[in-house]
Amino acid sequence: MFRRTLSASLVTAIGITGPVLADPILLRFSHVVAEDTPKGLGAHRFEELAEAYTNGAVDVRVYPNSTLYGDRNELEALQLGAVEMLAPSLAKFGPLGISEFELFDLPFLFVDIEAVHMLTEGPVGRALFDTLEPRGITGLAYWDNGFKIMSATRPLRVPDDFAGLPMRIQSSQVIAAQMEALGAVPRVMTLSETREALETGWVEGTENAPSNMLSQSIYEVQPYATLSNHGYLGYAVIVNSAFWNALPPDVRSNLVRALDEATDYANSIAAAKNAEAITLIAQTGTTELYELTPDERAAWVAALLPVHERMRQRLGDKLVDVARSTLGLPDLASP
Ligand code: LMR
């Protein structure tokens, strides 16, 4: 931990000759995943850079794996100032009364990660951050995890395989609609509850990025996984606005610099961490990993595309239209 030294003039004024230390500004960064994941590593990189660039004026403490706050209470803790920074999944803003981030949960919306960045790095990304301000939250960056795979106690090859299957989901109504479109039964629960719920049979399957499937030991209780890449998982790095706005301007700009670099780093390792997770899961032999055939994939797409129209009202016509035109997709109303 670094300490901020008082200015030389202040030291002289109060007649102290040795170095005088002031308390650093504490920045608590809480998240729900393991350290060896794209988000966990990004948070750690931010901690190192923020402390270095501010010369120790800021003391960043990262709390991974829901050790400080979990999915159920972290947003409220941020609003109350009990924690300064979070990076929740974009699927988790609904309980705050903001449904628009669930745009990113639409199945088969993105052809690749560059398409995601066309939204996060443009007007859509900024407009979504604007919705946070009235809640006392400031959005600073978008971090990727990657594309999700499906896992279960039975093989998932065609939509009919999902019939009646209880599936753990994040708290997103778009993801709930996605599971219902497949014939599954969505059950919302926190990430920290998921492994146990799968073990006891309360849910029999789930979706997630491979890095979470591995680091939460979900694969141990899921004999089948389909490398469907049907949806995106990413994060919004957010801060308590009152904390952020009260920072000395030089400290704030150094934190922005640290976060910009941590963002580049997190986004640059995300795909490799997920590819590595798939390899490691395959090596354990617990889970049969399945690639969809082109026909099977077409059947998933046909079953899931109607979710875009069904969720249009929840997400807002304007947002959906702007997102689709940014991505070069045809208007939903056209045939
Ligand atoms: C989940 O709850 O499954 C994920 O959103 C967790 C995360 O932050 O990656």
Domain positions in the chain:
8-326
Ligand 1 binding site (Cβ under 6 Å of any ligand atom): 32-33, 89, 145, 170, 191, 208, 212, 233
Taking the centre of ligand 1 as the mean of its atom positions, its distance from the CA of residue 212, in whole angstroms, is 7
> Ligand 1 test: best mutation among 62, 89, 238, most atoms within 8 Å of CB?
89
Considering only CA atoms, give the Rg of the chain: 22
**Distance, CA of 90 to CA of 316 (rounded, Å):** 16
Taking the centre of ligand 1 as the mean of its atom positions, its distance from the CA of residue 89, in whole angstroms, is 6
Closest ligand 1 atom, residue 31 Cα:
8
Q: Enter the tokens of residue 141.
A: 């960056």
Taking the centre of ligand 1 as the mean of its atom positions, its distance from the CA of residue 134, in whole angstroms, is 25
Reported confidence tier of residue 185, pLDDT bands at 50, 70, 90 = very high
pLDDT, the chain, mean: 93
> Ligand 1 test: best mutation among 86, 104, 145, 213, most atoms within 8 Å of CB?
145
Closest ligand 1 atom, residue 91 Cα:
5
> Ligand 1 test: best mutation among 33, 73, 105, most atoms within 8 Å of CB?
33
Closest ligand 1 atom, residue 71 Cα:
2
Per-residue pLDDT averaged across 234-251, rounded?
A: 98
Residue minimizing CA distance to atom 8 of ligand 1: 89
Q: Is the pLDDT of residue 31 over 70?
A: yes
Q: Enter the tokens of residue 290.
A: 């399945």
- List, for residues 186-213, the tens digit of each pLDDT value: 999 999 999 999 999 999 999 999 999 9
What are the two backbone dihedrals, phi and then psi, of residue 188, each rounded to the nearest 5 degrees?
-80, 130
- List, for residues 245-271, the tens digit of each pLDDT value: 999 999 999 999 999 999 999 999 999
Closest ligand 1 atom, residue 32 Cα:
8
Place of tokens 């896992």: 151
Query: CA nearest 214: which of 273, 290, 143, 154?
Result: 273
DSSP 89: B
Query: pTM higher than 0.85, yes or no?
Result: yes
Query: CA nearest 32: which of 153, 180, 171?
Result: 171
Q: Is the pLDDT of residue 95 over 80?
A: yes
On whether the CB atoms of residues 307 and 177 are closer than 8 A, the answer is: yes
Q: What is the pLDDT of residue 138?
A: 98
- List, for residues 45-91, the tens digit of each pLDDT value: 999 999 999 999 999 999 999 999 999 999 999 999 999 999 999 99
- Exposure class string for 213-250: b at 16+ Cβ within 10 A, else e: bbbbebbbbbebbbebbbbbbbbbbbbbbebbeebeee
Query: CA nearest 146: which of 75, 57, 60, 210?
Result: 210
Q: What is the pLDDT of residue 163?
A: 98
Per-residue pLDDT averaged across 139-156, rounded?
A: 98
Q: Is the pLDDT of residue 19 over 60?
A: no
Domain 8-326 part of CATH 2.40.30.10: no
Q: What is the pLDDT of residue 330?
A: 87
Closest ligand 1 atom, residue 206 Cα:
3
Taking the centre of ligand 1 as the mean of its atom positions, its distance from the CA of residue 33, in whole angstroms, is 7
- Percent with pLDDT over 70 in the chain: 93
Helix (H) or strand (E) holding 185, with range, is: strand 185-188
Question: Helix or strand or coil: residue 205?
Answer: strand
Q: Is the pLDDT of residue 3 over 60?
A: no
